[in-house]
């Protein structure tokens, strides 16, 4: 019954049993009745009669974790033990295995902690091997995670997937592949970011000092459209078999579009790309380094139909993407004399610095993303089991668990 404040009053001893049940029970079990009387209770019901486990309230957990600086600001999926166990079916690592020590905080990225952050990001269990591989890749010395995490530069970490596993988990490599709309693209990149915040300590203003941050830091992950690539896909270019699934990580700015609907030759089209890329203010202008080129399939076809191979493209961009020295030498680090030739600076150190992949849907667009300069090199790693043997299918882990 409600009181005048409409509050429902309940008796702590009320169990909800029907009166008929109470009478029946009392007649059947006198001992039980005695206990009930001692406890001043109406029946023998115990709190443990039926335990129903429910998920924590998303809104409450999201708010709590947000206030503790454990999220990127978006709501999270509560990381429960049940979800953890499901995800651990997709790895042969033990939960306490340390995959990497992540700077600046020198946090231990154990398998369990990587999974917890992936759950929070909204990943499904089948994404766990990809995220684990990405963590291994960013911890390579040449990637320079201490610098990438702490820099005032808006360096995001782009994750590029190649090979059968990328198709198996249905990562988007086609229309809208840079987002939004696909769970793998959206959550794998987000999982890496949450790992950086919670394991590495790359919390904005504490271990991540990006002056303004970047929307690309929420998630920047896609697959290469290998079937649309007229040349060799990225993992093959880097020495792996086309049936090898790989994860490539690269520290880059947010992508910038190159709109070219009119060029009919390779040279015309590449000139548009070069004039979009060769700008002062990027790290490439004062510390030349890698440069990401995500060529749309229609642009790739125009260039390939003109008889240009991948190396021709890389050479052309390397030779022609140039910034005048007076504009180039305005970055954080003094422009080194070795990069200056005839008063100009090439934005790449060599043709190999042009990291070219094909992705996207219909339309005559390409995306470029400047790199972190000489301070970080991209890393490509194959998806493997703990013993280093290659992973052919994401289901291999589950099959292995069944055999065990």
Partner 1 sequence: MKVKIIERNILNPSAEIEASKMELTPITDTISKISLFNNTKPNADVILNTIAENSDDINFVYVKKPAGAPATVEQIKKASEADISILALGDCGSCTTWVILDAIKLENNGIPTISICSHKFSTFAHELAKSHGIENLRILEIEHPIAGQSPEQVEIKVKKILPKIKDLLKLHKK
Could you say which of 63, 66, 75, 84 contacts partner 1 (CB under 8 A)? Answer: 84
Look-up: residue for tokens 């499901």? 86
**End-to-end Cα spacing for the chain:** 58
371 in contact with partner 1 (CB under 8 A)? no
Could you say which of 93, 151, 246, 248 contacts partner 1 (CB under 8 A)? Answer: 151
Could you say which of 42, 45, 130, 355 contacts partner 1 (CB under 8 A)? Answer: 45
54 in contact with partner 1 (CB under 8 A)? yes
Could you say which of 93, 229, 263, 376 contacts partner 1 (CB under 8 A)? Answer: 376
Alpha-carbon distances of 247 from 137, 166, 179, rounded to whole Å: 8, 9, 18
Question: Residue 313's closest CA among 223, 220, 237, 235?
Answer: 237
Q: Tokens standing for 94? A: 């033990």
Could you say which of 152, 259, 393, 395 contacts partner 1 (CB under 8 A)? Answer: 152
Question: Residue 311's closest CA among 274, 270, 356, 273?
Answer: 356
Q: Tokens standing for 161? A: 């997937």
Look-up: residue for tokens 């429910």? 54
230 in contact with partner 1 (CB under 8 A)? no
Question: Residue 128's closest CA among 386, 396, 404, 394?
Answer: 394
Cα separation, 317 vs 300, whole angstroms = 14
209 in contact with partner 1 (CB under 8 A)? yes
13 in contact with partner 1 (CB under 8 A)? no
**In a 10 Å sphere around its CB, with 0-12 CB exposed, 13-18 middle and 19+ buried, how is residue 360 labelled?**
buried
Which of the residues 325 through 354 are near partner 1 (CB under 8 A)? 332-334
In order, the DSSP letters of 216-275 are GGT--EEE--GGG-SS--HHHHTT--TTS-EEEEEEEPPPEEEE-SS--SHHHHHHHHHH
Could you say which of 106, 257, 350, 395 contacts partner 1 (CB under 8 A)? Answer: 106
> Considering beta carbons, is residue 162 or 374 the nearer one to partner 1?
374
190 in contact with partner 1 (CB under 8 A)? no
How big is the chain, counted in residues?
404
282 in contact with partner 1 (CB under 8 A)? no
138 in contact with partner 1 (CB under 8 A)? no
Stretch that binds partner 1, among 126-134, 143-151, 178-186, 392-400 (CB under 8 A): 143-151
Could you say which of 42, 109, 347, 357 contacts partner 1 (CB under 8 A)? Answer: 109
Could you say which of 2, 4, 8, 16 contacts partner 1 (CB under 8 A)? Answer: 16
Q: Can you give the binding site for partner 1, defined by CB under 8 A?
A: 15-17, 45-57, 61, 65, 70, 78-82, 84, 101-110, 112-113, 116-117, 120, 144, 146-153, 194, 198-201, 206-210, 287, 332-334, 372-376
């Amino acid at each position: 019954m409600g009181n005048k404040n409409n509050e429902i009053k309940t008796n702590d001893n009320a169990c909800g049993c029907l009166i008929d049940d109470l009478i029946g029970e009392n007649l059947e079990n006198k001992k039980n009745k005695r206990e009930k009387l001692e406890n001043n209770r109406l029946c023998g019901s115990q709190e443990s009669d039926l335990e129903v486990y429910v998920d924590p309230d998303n809104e409450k957990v999201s708010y709590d974790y947000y206030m503790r600086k454990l999220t990127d600001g978006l709501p999270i999926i509560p990381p429960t033990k049940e979800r953890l166990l499901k995800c651990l079916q997709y790895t042969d690592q033990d939960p306490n295995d340390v995959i990497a020590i992540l700077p600046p905080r020198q946090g231990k990225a154990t398998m369990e902690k990587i999974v917890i952050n992936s759950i929070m990001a909204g990943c499904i269990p089948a994404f766990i091997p990809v995220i684990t591989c990405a963590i291994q890749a960013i911890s390579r010395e040449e990637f320079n995670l201490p610098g990438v995490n702490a820099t005032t530069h808006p360096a995001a970490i782009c994750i590029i997937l190649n090979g059968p596993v990328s198709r198996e988990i249905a990562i988007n490599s086609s229309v809208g592949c840079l987002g939004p709309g696909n769970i793998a693209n959206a959550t794998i990149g987000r999982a890496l970011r949450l790992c950086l915040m919670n394991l590495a300590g790359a919390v904005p203003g504490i271990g991540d000092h990006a002056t303004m941050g970047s929307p690309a830091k929420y998630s920047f992950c896609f697959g290469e459209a290998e079937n649309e690539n007229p040349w060799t896909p990225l993992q093959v270019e880097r020495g792996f078999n086309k049936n090898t699934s790989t994860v490539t990580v690269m520290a880059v700015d947010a992508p910038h579009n190159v709109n070219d609907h009119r060029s009919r030759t390779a040279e015309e089209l590449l000139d548009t790309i070069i004039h979009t890329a060769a700008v002062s203010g990027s790290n490439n202008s004062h510390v030349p380094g890698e440069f990401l080129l995500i060529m749309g399939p229609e642009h790739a076809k125009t260039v390939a139909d003109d008889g240009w191979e991948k190396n021709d493209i890389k050479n052309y961009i390397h030779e022609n993407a140039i910034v005048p020295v007076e504009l180039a030498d305005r970055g954080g680090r003094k422009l080194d004399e070795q990069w200056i030739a005839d008063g100009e600076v090439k934005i790449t150190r060599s043709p190999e610095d042009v990291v070219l992949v094909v992705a996207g849907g219909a339309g005559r667009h390409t995306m470029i993303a400047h790199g972190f300069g000489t301070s970080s090199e991209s890393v490509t790693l194959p998806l493997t089991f703990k013993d280093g043997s290659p992973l052919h299918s994401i289901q291999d882990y589950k099959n292995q668990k069944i055999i065990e």
